[in-house]
Chains A and B, each alone.
Chain A
């Protein structure tokens, strides 16, 4: 009830802003934590820039030839043709392609940084199978040199998840690909938190090898359900307390905060989005039933190798799948890979499927466009009718949907954050590279001006004292 009142109150103030976001949802928790751990990222106002004459893949399903994007004051102002140039710095993008900033929904940059050392491997709190209390953002190393490599591949936003050792691995965080000493300074403002869950082999291997629960898939499922039962009970206690009168509240202590259960209750309330590592079709169906039992939603299945086997169910229930183009065989649950997985998920439910191409790799994240291209080509070879205008959504708008930030990024639309990539050619070609990356209207990478490029601390003087990593 208090949360509701707070929301109504905020709404009055926010209503005039162009973008109404899930800020409202996140705010009750922010208030409880006295505003701690909020994003401190505030871009300076950006100049008026017109990128014109390019081939646009808008992320909304359109390919626009000879078109332009006008950005100003951190936002996309207009998209299309015949835009007034007055007062704008003009970038002629003739022969170039323009896409929204690329978004990777599955990354471990920062929590498994390079170089990979025992002392900086901070992605798996593999000391208990359920650790909803840990937050990936509290592990993130802001000087991981992998960020800048990803930026050169057009990545403007990425989601950092805990690893998959645990059934419930902790909260993920959405970051903008900007350099900041603090993780708060990288945090995507008001992006919903996520909760990483993991099906299958990894948790049962990690804990089974220690002769503790879980050691089987049924043990996994028991583990999730036991956690949600506790979460339900905690939620009930919170609600009971909240429903009491002010006088009654004075007479008893408020329920004590519980870091683990706060996260799970956040999921039950729809404020925290489930990112569920899950390879096998039947396991996805089981996970959906667990969600049904406890009344929450799975937002995205990750590494969904067998999503094509349950693509109709996923489309019907509005669950996204984040997939590789062709990885397979590293474990049994990754054995039934099909090259057309992404395309099939996309086309399921009469084209209502939500397909996302993810990397889970510091190499793959630099070439997410190529992964999408392979997946598109495979789909076309099998006769599915998909074009580039739609396929670009796999690494832009659909990824944004999977992160609950599609109202702010993922497409070239007026009012959205000015995260824009200029490519020297068709991004579905192996030969194309990124020429310019804008984040919130500011150039963050320019291939013609590599010296100006803001490197991480790690990059400086590391090859030799005079030189920087490129």
Chain B
């Protein structure tokens, strides 16, 4: 199976966390970091790999979360039913949204998709019925598979960890597949892509919808992991945070996005003593990375190590 070793090592280290601590707090932080990994990988697919400036990811994240939350709390649907329903719904909505949204490019696409995210949270917040309005939905059941239920924090953490591993493996497989080649061709030259017979509209819609599925998957995991959701979980701050994870790690680089997502998810743990300064730290880090390492941290590190390896070989 094609999967980069550094990604595997990072995920194994996170998976081994319970050997060091079983504190519910630490496991919650680590579980959320893994959910952000999935969200960032999905965002990277459309933003980094295919080069489409889409910022609708939190809407799909929220759609996945709300779908499973409503179905499981109001209709007692089990996870094996809510998960596929949520993913199919996100794919369909993603496809339908992509057709009009992808008629515009660059800055305009960014604005349209950002508006979609904002409209989603506004609409959900204004619907108190089954969606819970601003109060959200509480009492979402934990992950349940048949007779087994992830009632404790450790079990929930491992379900999310398995989800993140599957998402990372599948996204790397996608990158190496025909789908990935097509997505990358869209970013670099639409004329070149047309010249090799790629239908630009179909290709963009597919990439948009598939990336939405990853975000929806992250949403499903989030809902059953936290067992509570509200519109604030899917606000503009999450949109900006996820884009920062992708940009800092390295646009289009799956390992970079993994590193970026883990770093920015865990950063608040080291800056807890400086309450209120987090936005400044995020912003500052983002500005520094964009100015000094515009391709992201991981691609920059890879480029720095490459000549050294050659020198070592030749010496």
Q: Do A and B bind each other?
A: no
Q: Which residues of A are at the interface with B, using a C-beta cutoff of 8 A?
A: none
